[in-house]
Amino acid sequence: MMASRERLYAIGADYRKAISGYDKIVKICCGTGCISSGALTVYDELQRVLSKRGLSSKQILVKKTGCHGLCERGPIVVFGDDEILYQNVGKRNIERDIAALLATINEDKIEDELLYKGDDKTKRYMSSFDIPFYSGQTRIVLSLNGVIDPENIEEYVGYGGYKSLHKALQMNPMEIVDLIEKSGLRGRGGGGFLTGFKWRSCRQAQGLPKYVVANGDEGDPGAFMDRSLMEGNPHGILEGMIIGGFAIGSNHGFIYVRDEYPLAVYRLSKAIDEARHHGFLGRSIMNSGFDFDISIFRGGGAFVCGESTALISSIEGKSGEPRAKYIHTTEKGLWGKPTNINNVETWSNVPYIIDRGWEWFQSIGSDRSKGTKVFSLVGKVKNTGLIEVPMGVSLREIIFNLGGGIQGDKKFKAVQTGGPSGGCIPEEFLEIPVDFDSLTKLGSMMGSGGMIVMDERNCMVDVARYFLKFLIEESCGKCTPCREGVRRMHEIVDRICRGDGSMGDIEHLEELGKAIQLSSLCGLGQSAPNPVLSTIKFFREEYRTHVQEKKCPAGVCKNLITVSILPERCTGCMRCAVECPVDCISSEKKEIHGIDQSLCTKCGTCFDVCRFGAVKIS
Amino acid sequence: MEADEGKLSVIIDKYDGDRSYLLAMLQDIQREYRYVPEEAVRYLCGQLRIPLAKAYEVVTFYKTLSLKPRGRHTIHVCLGTACHLRGGPGILETFERELNVQTGDTTENGLFTLETVNCLGACALAPLVRVEEKDFGKTTPANAKKIIREFHDGEEL
């Protein structure tokens, strides 16, 4: 079916008419986070109870939406236009909570127990507009996440979807490129390259066909914004890509998605089918004469494939080895043809810029970083989840206001940004604005937007070792500095963690790191030493303590610590004994416990669960 | 031969025998057999007319593909950064100890294969464990034992 302007309006009008027939709309977050907390059970139960007619005389629409953001408190259930937000639904007592949902539906009765509680436990927040986690955000690309049913194209159109595509198709392709360039949009995948500039060079490149690619390979551990976008609003990505294809002069797009994201693959496939059915993809899109289609390519779980040239090798059916970028992919990319690769989040921004104009986009953000950025805020922060803020907001604002501070009110130690390519930032720099250039100046980077908060119980040397191990596994092995150098760095850091570090190791690491940065072939190797160099820069003292005093101040490195119970504090509650994975804690109720050191694996579980501070790690 | 030609032909035809889709075909083969059998690679190479070495290069490069047969259930312990910081390594150790296997191996009764994954993208609920399609968030060592019991299919552990 061809979609003209009238058709687009008709879909939207039909949707609004259908929606107006409902007395109540209940949105259940079915992002991956909430699903793992039991959201599907809540959905099924509520549907089951509602379908037993007689319980409600009202017309109720219960829908599954994409990620709402506040994953820590999932499953999340939202009523109407976010007027009421319930958290932790069905976690403790599913029957009671379903009854509470019914009471809200039928009698507008608010269940206090399910509302978000503030830090002081007295203030309760009714709507998401008031909760600091939400009120501190500016949602653009996430604006429909958690609002629409991602498996229903009518909802997307009903909320203004594909309007920008229609507008773009009336424009001259070069005009679109200019507009994107003027908006100042920079690539959200990490590099921060100017999107409009990239589009222009691809448009001007010689050779046909041309390709556009959405990079949804998100291999960064600790980052899940691309996943949430693909799962929560797949049409937004498609619309951006179609507009991009039209501007660049391409008729074929690829979405490269990790194989670990089955739900994203499913929802994107469904979105592509629906878009084709309604004439937004395929031949002569919206009767414009422009042909464009999109295929999904499932990645194979290789971190390096997020790098553009490696990603291209992978789509071509080879192993994902990068090549030197003497010639840009915009000139010679997929099968040697001009190819424009942008990250999923970058594509998602495009329809909004077309719709509201470049001046609007320019007005958001900081000096040289325009617009908003989606971050996944995880680690030791109270409100873990997904946030979108204007560029230039300070780290402190993100971690302590939106994130609600550190779990268990422990002391903040560092925040890791940019995944394995980034670095760790200590407390003294919390005031810096978060944008591409400020983070790079600190030896970290924006990356795709993972933000991992660490507290005093995290050892920075161990963190450095973690990233090195990750990178050894993920290096494709093509160039020597990365393949061998990172391995040597890991050996040194591992030795330090085991208590066998020697004088000069730290300096050796710095030297080796700089050499790898200078001589590696692709972005993976060039940035691989960042986590080590930044931890040495800001936490040199912690390295020194490991090397010289053979101690781990955070109590993480197993060879350097012992776990014991302080008899004067132990109340004999047995909590640690129940949780101990190796049953090495001797315990009788109300008697002081003891740890069998020969069995103890020093996992620290007892320390974490003890409510009386009776476990000592030294 | 474990891999039968009928099923393989269906997979190859799905991609019109286009060798650019080698990785996608291998992924489909893995879905069918839970690993990539050698016979399947040989058959695929014959049909697509590509050297065996090229297919093996791809199979060994990507982490989601396995040349070793896997057990009935694969337990994926996530070791992404957030999971690492919130106790993922301890969860992995618990599984290794309880199942008496090393990471990457399968239990003797063929019930469980234990693997790690670098990030499953549900970092807010770290540490995360995935068995088949089911995710378990905020796992503790004690939970790990419960997860094993949930999937033991009545067999003795």
Of A260, A262, A582, the CB nearest to B117: A260
DSSP letters, A117-173, are: E-TTSS-EE-STTTSHHHHT---STTTTTTTS-TT-HHHHHHTTTTHHHHHHHTS-H
Q: Inter-chain contact A302–B62, Cβ cutoff 8 Å?
A: yes
Helix (H) or strand (E) holding B115: strand B112-117
Q: Pick from B21, B22, B59, B84 the residue to mutate for testing the A interface (most A CBs within 10 Å).
A: B84
Closest residue of chain B to A556, computed from CA coordinates: B85
Query: Closest Cα to residue A305, out of A266, A248, A260?
Result: A260
Selection from A299, A449, A312 nearest residue A372 by Cα: A449
A195-204 helix and A234-248 helix, angle to the nearest 10 degrees: 50
| C-alpha to C-alpha distance for A452 and A384, rounded to whole angstroms | 10
Whole-complex ipTM: 0.90
A 495-514 residues with CB < 8 A to B = none
Tell me, yes or no, if A322 comes closer than 8 A to chain B by beta carbon.
no
A377 strand-pairing partners = A385, A451
Fill in the amino acid letter for A614.
A
Radius of gyration (C-alpha) of chain B in whole angstroms = 18
Q: Which helix (H) or strand (E) holds A25?
A: strand A24-29
**A342 touches A198 (CB < 8 A):** yes
Hey, is A185 helix, strand or coil? coil
Is residue A287 within 8 Å of B26, Cβ to Cβ?
A: no
Residues of chain B neighbouring A345 (CB-CB closer than 8 A): none
- The residue ranges of DSSP E strands in A518-602, in sequence order, are 563-565, 585-586, 594-595
pTM of the model: 0.93
pLDDT reported for residue A56: 58
Cα of B152 vs its chain's centroid, Å: 18
Predicted confidence at residue B2, as pLDDT, reads: 65
How far is A468 from chain B, CA to nearest CA, in Å?
A: 12
Best mutation target among B119, B138, B140, B143 (most A Cβ atoms within 10 Å) is B119
Q: Please give the pLDDT value at position A54.
A: 55
pLDDT band at B157 (very low <50, low <70, confident <90, very high): low
Largest CA distance in chain B: 51
* A394 bridge partner residues: A433
How many helices and strands, by DSSP H and E, does chain B display? 7, 4
Place of tokens 């990603």: A311
The two tokens of residue A127 are 């709507």
Give A555's contacts (C-beta < 8 A, 6+ positions apart): A457, A459, A561, A604, A607, A617, A618
Task: Give the model's pLDDT for residue A617.
Answer: 87
Q: Do B121 and A608 touch (CB under 8 A)?
A: no
Mutation target vs B (from A29, A32, A578; most B CBs, 10 A cutoff): A32
3-class DSSP assignment, residue A386 = strand
Task: Report the residue from B22, B81, B119 with minimal CB separation from A466.
Answer: B81
Q: Amino acid letter at B103?
A: T
B-contacting residues of A 398-427, CB under 8 Å?
416, 419
Contact A318 B58 (CB under 8 A): yes
Q: Report, in angstroms and rounded to the nearest whole number, the Rg of chain A calculated over CA atoms.
A: 26
Q: What are the tens digits of pLDDT across the range B30-69?
A: 989 989 999 999 999 999 999 999 999 999 999 889 999 9
Three-state secondary structure of A475-528: CCCCCHHHHHHHHHHHHHHHHHHHCCCCCCHHHHHHHHHHHHHHHCCCHHHHHC
* B109 pLDDT higher than 70: yes
Distance CA A595, CA A582 (A): 11
Omega before A75 within 30 of 0, i.e. cis: yes
**What residue has token string 């509470």?**
A100
Centroid of chain to Cα B151 = 16
Name B131's bridge partners.
B75, B134
Q: Is the dihedral of CA B12, B13, B15, B20 positive or negative?
A: positive
Full 3-state SS string of A31-55: CHHHHHCCHHHHHHHHHHHHHCCCC
Q: For residue A79, which phi and psi values (nearest 5 degrees)?
A: -105, 145
Question: Exposed, middle or buried by CB within 10 Å (0-12, 13-18, 19+), for A597?
Answer: exposed
Q: How many CB pairs under 8 A join A and B?
A: 168
Q: Are A261 and A379 in contact (CB under 8 A)?
A: no
User: CB distance B123–A260 less than 8 Å?
Assistant: no
- Taking the C-alpha atoms of residue A226 and residue B119, their distance in angstroms, rounded to an integer, is 13
Of the candidates B71, B156, B88, the one whose C-alpha atom is nearest the C-alpha of residue B122 is B88
At A342 the pLDDT is 96
Token reading at A136 = 């501190």
What was the pLDDT predicted at A57?
Answer: 60
**How confident is chain A (618 residues) per 10-residue block, as mean pLDDT?**
73 89 92 90 92 70 92 91 90 92 89 85 85 92 94 94 95 97 92 93 95 93 92 97 97 93 94 95 94 94 89 91 88 94 96 96 94 94 94 95 91 93 93 92 87 93 94 92 96 96 95 96 92 96 96 91 91 88 84 89 85 88
Q: Is the peptide bond before B69 cis (omega within 30 degrees of 0)?
A: no
Spatial contact of B77 and B114, defined as CB atoms under 8 Å apart: yes
Q: Establish if A221 touches chain B: CB-CB under 8 angstroms.
A: yes
Say whether B81 and A450 touch across the interface (CB within 8 A): yes
Q: Does A307 touch chain B (CB under 8 A)?
A: no
State the alpha helices, DSSP H only, in chain B: 5-14, 22-33, 38-48, 52-61, 81-85, 88-99, 141-150
Let me know: does B123 contact B84? Beta carbons within 8 Å.
Answer: no
Looking at every residue in chain B, the average pLDDT score rounds to 90
Residues of chain B with C-beta less than 8 angstroms from the C-beta of A474: 118
CB B78 within 8 A of CB B88: yes
pLDDT for B57: 93
Cα separation of A111 and A100, whole Å? 6
Whole-number percent of chain A with pLDDT over 90:
67
Does any CB of chain B come closer than 8 Å to the CB of residue A272? no
CA dist., res. A38 & res. A77, Å (int): 12
pLDDT of residue A459: 94
Please give the Cα distance from A500 to A249 (Å, whole number): 59
Task: Give me the pLDDT at residue A45, please.
Answer: 93
Q: Which residues pair with A117 in a beta bridge?
A: A124
Token pair for A409? 């009110």
For A301, the closest of B58, B62, B126 (CB atoms) is B62
The SS3 of residue A586 is: strand
pLDDT (tens digit, 9 = 90+) per residue, A51-76?
876 555 678 899 999 999 998 898 99
Cα A579 to Cα A569, A606, B147: the distances in Å are 18, 7, 15
Record: contact A36-B122, CB cut-off 8 A: yes
State which residue of chain A sits closest to B97, comparing Cα positions: A582
Q: Is B83:B124 a contact under the CB 8 Å cutoff?
A: no
Instruction: Compute the distance between CA of residue B64 and CA of residue B59 in angstroms, rounded to an integer.
Output: 9
CB-CB contact of A29 with A77 (8 Å):
yes
The two tokens of residue A8 are 């687009």
Residues 6+ apart with CB under 8 A from A221: A419, A420, A450, A470, B79, B80, B81, B82, B83, B84, B118, B119, B123
Tokens of A586: 């001797």
Residues paired with A294 in a beta bridge: A253
**Among A454, A218, A242, residue whose Cα is nearest residue A347:** A242
Determine the length of chain A.
Answer: 618
